[in-house]
Structure 1
Amino acid sequence: MKSLRFTMAGVCLAGLLTLTVAGCAQNAERDKKDTIKIGVAIYRGDDAFISSVSSSMEEAVKEKEEELDRKIIVNIADAKNSQGSQNDQVDDFISKGYDVICVNMVDRTAAAVIVDKAKEAGIPIIFFNREPVEEDMGIWDQTYYVGTDAKEAGELEGQIVADAFKAAPEQIDKNGDGKLQYVMLEGEQVHQDSLIRTEYSVKTILKEGIPTEKLASGTGNWMRSPAYELMQEWIKEYGDRIEAVISNNDEMAMGAVEALEENGMTGSSGPIVVGIDGTRDGLEKIVKGEMIGTVMNVAQKQAECMVEIACYCAQDENPKGQVEYLNGRYVRIPHYIVTADNIDEVINDK
């Protein structure tokens, strides 16, 4: 009997251990499912707008964690403008079993490689800010894009310039020839938004009945320093013939403003300056009267939509009909104009 009791005790203990191990395994599986992992690969961390999207995404994640009562891990990797590095970062996210990968392409024409990797791994992918070509988006039905309408941005930027010219032609048309002499600061040549913003900003000015003359244009690669150098060159060559500086983004507009300040050409004595993005620095320049306006590119809303899509995909749910602005597999957040007329309202909302 004694040995039987020991045997029964052993069976009970073995059963208890089995239940404990099974329970631990279930808890581990539950913990795993309760965590959503999102990998974010950005083209360059020192880009003012992309930095704003990244920080807004982290804020959106905190709100989503409370809503879902789930832990959401976001890992942001900076490719430092190297497509090779970005490919490696995506490989790392895949090897670590991330649920969703968000990519701000270094080279939008190289998206097919990343889509193929994500498709093979069965991981949904969300591109943002730099839109892949349609053929690459069509490789897999779990590929999404979050961004804006570049044509709309260009048109609104041109409208800012046209409205300012019409309101005070004698102030802007300094030589009185009835034309707007301008210089154009362009983003990267491979970025579709740069080409489209440039084209439609000028088309809109012309559509408003204002003749234009391009004095110069140059690639500032979205950055302040190259734009500053370009503006210094143009000031030396054209001086007060420059009546407007049209910039594809606010960061390059900042470089232009710095060059104009150094040459005593800000305010009513200098050209008007306009940008796109609505960065904090850009808004401050509008307050100071050093920029006439910008086109707001709403980073917060783009970040929120990315997090929404990512969480639905991570839970094997279709985001269609559940994410604001999602049309098919594309999200395009509307822009709006910011000038001295509404700058106070915009700043108070931030």
Structure 2
Amino acid sequence: MKKAIAIHTALLTIFLVTIVSGNISSAERKFKIGITHYGLKNEYTILLSKAQRETAAKFNVDLDIFDGNYDVKTQYDNFDYMIAQRYDAIIFTPVDVDAMADAVEKAVRNGIPVIGVNTQVNSDKLTSYIGSNDISAGEMEMTYLAKKMGGRGNIVIIEGPIGSSAQVQRRRGIHNVLARYPKIKVLSEKTANWSRSEGFTLMENWLKAFPDKIQGVCGHNDEMALGAIKALERRGLKVPVVGVDGIYDGLQAIKERRLTATCFQDAQGQGSMSVEVAVKFLKGEKVAKNYWIPFELVTAENVAQYFARRK
């Protein structure tokens, strides 16, 4: 009888320990989340990372952020490391819309959910995506530029890294608008890889190739647009220049009437939500397939209200 009671007590103990440990693993244990961004050399991904770190601290999550360095192999290596180290979830902004799909599928095959943020990837294996509609950003900035130019003139377009979803979709949005303005001519359209210094160099080259012909500049982001402005100012030139993101330096340039307009992209909202969604999913809660945060047009008339949102 005593032996039977002892066995029953032992089994009950094992059962209770299993329940308790199960509850901890699904709801209370500390999660380890890894993030790889396409690059960490521009203000927007720095802002995104800051929001992600703050939100991770709020949820008591261990968070590591890796730099994809604008290179597919480097970002793929980031994925391989996180898979090997058994991270609970991966959040990322892909270097390339197509090339990084294999990395997503590899992580999922290994039981690791992947959350996309800010930049899209061609994979249906993402658990969720948090971002803004880049086609609408291209349409928004080009519409404003076209109106500023009176619907006619010559422009150059500074693109993001070729193959990134933001480059592909912002380009589509820009050309959607250009189709309605046949009197606006595109002199050239090249990448400056989200870089202010590359934007400066590209604009210098264009000013030599098209002397006195450039009447507007459309940048896929603010960093490159600011580089173009520096090249224009060196020659004493002033033409309307637009960008995307609403980084602090971009807002300051609008306030100073140097940058004509930008499309504010909510880094705080995207970064914070990406971590929140990952944690919710890891706790077994239901998450949506997509979360869309709209762009907002920023001009000299409303720029003052955006500075506080970039701190």
TM-score (normalizing by structure 2): 0.86
Taking the aligned partners of 1:192 and 1:129, their CA distance within structure 2 comes to: 9
Q: Which residue number corresponds to residue 308 of structure 1?
A: 276
Q: Provide the aligned C-alpha RMSD in A.
A: 2.6
Counting matched residue pairs gives 294
Taking the aligned partners of 1:109 and 1:201, their CA distance within structure 2 comes to: 21
Q: Which residue number corresponds to residue 187 of structure 1?
A: 160
SS in 1 for 2:210: helix
Q: Which residue number corresponds to residue 29 of structure 2?
A: 34
Evaluate the alpha carbon distance shift between residue 248 and residue 311 of structure 1 in structure 2; reply closer, same or farther with a 3 A threshold. same
Q: Which residue number corresponds to residue 218 of structure 2?
A: 246
Structure 1 runs of 4+ with >6 Å offset? none
* Pick aligned residue for 2:247 from 254, 259, 279: 279
AA of the residue aligned to 1:247: G
Taking the aligned partners of 2:165 and 2:309, their CA distance within structure 1 comes to: 30
Bigger-Rg structure (1/2):
1
1:51 aligns with 2:46: yes
Taking the aligned partners of 1:262 and 1:117, their CA distance within structure 2 comes to: 49
Residues 210-289 of structure 1 mapped to structure 2, 5 A cutoff: 211-265=183-237, 270-289=238-257
* Pick aligned residue for 2:76 from 70, 87, 90: 87
Cα drift, residue 205 of structure 1 = 4.9
Residue deviations 1:137-194, cap 9 Å, x none? 2xx4x6222222111101110122133234xxxxxxxxxxx72211111112212321
AA of the residue aligned to 2:217: V
* Pick aligned residue for 1:299 from 267, 273, 278: 267
Cα drift, residue 51 of structure 1 = 1.7
Residue pair 2:128, 2:287 contacting (<8 A) in 1 also = no
Residue pair 1:161, 1:205 contacting (<8 A) in 2 also = no
Taking the aligned partners of 1:308 and 1:262, their CA distance within structure 2 comes to: 45
* Pick aligned residue for 2:170 from 191, 197, 200: 197
Cα drift, residue 106 of structure 1 = 2.1
Residue pair 1:245, 1:274 contacting (<8 A) in 2 also = yes
Residue deviations 1:271-308, cap 9 Å, x none? 11100111111111101111110011111111122112
1:157 aligns with 2:164: no
Evaluate the alpha carbon distance shift between residue 106 and residue 200 of structure 1 in structure 2; reply closer, same or farther with a 3 A threshold. closer
TM-score (normalizing by structure 1): 0.77
* Identity %, equivalent residues: 30
Taking the aligned partners of 2:202 and 2:56, their CA distance within structure 1 comes to: 39
Evaluate the alpha carbon distance shift between residue 263 and residue 95 of structure 1 in structure 2; reply closer, same or farther with a 3 A threshold. same
User: Which 5+ residue runs of structure 2 have no aligned equivalent?
Assistant: 1-12
Between 1 and 2, higher relative CO (CA 8 Å, sep ≥ 6) is seen in 2
Q: Which residue number corresponds to residue 107 of structure 2?
A: 118
Taking the aligned partners of 1:152 and 1:89, their CA distance within structure 2 comes to: 31
Taking the aligned partners of 2:86 and 2:140, their CA distance within structure 1 comes to: 42
User: Which 5+ residue runs of structure 1 have no aligned equivalent?
Assistant: 1-18, 66-70, 167-177, 321-328
Taking the aligned partners of 2:167 and 2:105, their CA distance within structure 1 comes to: 27
Taking the aligned partners of 1:120 and 1:202, their CA distance within structure 2 comes to: 38
Cα drift, residue 31 of structure 1 = 8.9
Cα drift, residue 310 of structure 1 = 0.5
Taking the aligned partners of 1:347 and 1:210, their CA distance within structure 2 comes to: 36
Evaluate the alpha carbon distance shift between residue 272 and residue 188 of structure 1 in structure 2; reply closer, same or farther with a 3 A threshold. same
